[in-house]
Copies of this chain bind each other. A is one copy, B any other.
Amino acid sequence: MHHLPFTFEIALPAGVPTEYDNHITRSLSSMRGQYADQQAYDAQLAQEDVLLYEVYEICCPESSGELLNGISIVHPGAVGDEYFMTKGHFHAVLETAEVYYCLAGEGYMVMETPEGESSVAELRPGKVLYVPPRWAHRSVNTGAAADLITFFVYPGHAGHDYGSIEKQGFRKLVVARDNRPVIVDNPRWTPPEER
């Protein structure tokens, strides 16, 4: 928590900030049911509970005038043919946006609204992505060997809603076909009106 101006540095290539309040790590075991190929997931987890992504959070009071920010690092890899990705979430206060600045790596942000509208945006260094209010978002690392590193900023009062996405995932998946990323439909996704 900070009430005075402060700075920190994002030292590349690692992307670990010189100061932060929380360091969140998510490994394969925390993503049960989130990958389309359940068999591949089980086999991979039996071998190793590999680290999928990390988030360094810079905290501030959770009010609408404040800006939570931090660094997201998604490691390279795949479960079956589906690339490593974050859990993805809506904001608990749905009418809140998020801005991403891509620092390193390559990948996609997979997004959708509660009404099922879908959008997928490419991420590469130097790109800014605006996720408008109401759009759930998940980052996916499609790089062969490098981390996908993004700097994010969102309103202090936004909060997180992971549950809605956990139920059936996003409408679109990012999978490898001939070693290249392709965006395909998620077979277990159903439109909101059929849920």
Smallest CB-CB separation from A93: which chain B residue? B65
Interface residues of A (CB under 8 A from B): 2-12, 17, 58, 60, 63-67, 69, 93, 95-99, 101, 109, 111, 119, 121-123, 126-133, 135, 151, 153-158
Can you spell out 23 A-B residue pairs with CB atoms less than 8 angstroms apart? A2-B132, A5-B131, A5-B132, A7-B121, A7-B122, A7-B123, A7-B128, A7-B130, A9-B127, A9-B128, A10-B127, A12-B126, A60-B97, A60-B130, A64-B155, A65-B93, A65-B96, A65-B155, A66-B133, A67-B98, A67-B154, A69-B130, A99-B153
Smallest CB-CB separation from A11: which chain B residue? B126
State the number of copies, please.
2
| Most central of A5, A6, A60, A111 by chain B CB within 10 Å | A5
Interface on chain A toward B: helix, strand, loop, or mixed SS?
Answer: strand
Q: State in angstroms the CA–CA spacing of A98 and B10 once bound together.
A: 17
Top-7 shortest CB links A-B: A65-B96, A65-B95, A64-B64, A153-B153, A5-B119, A67-B97, A65-B133
Task: Establish whether residues A97 and B7, one from each chain, have CB atoms under 8 Å apart when the complex forms.
Answer: no
Q: A63-B95, A67-B97, A69-B99 are in contact. Are A10 and B155 (CB under 8 A)?
A: no
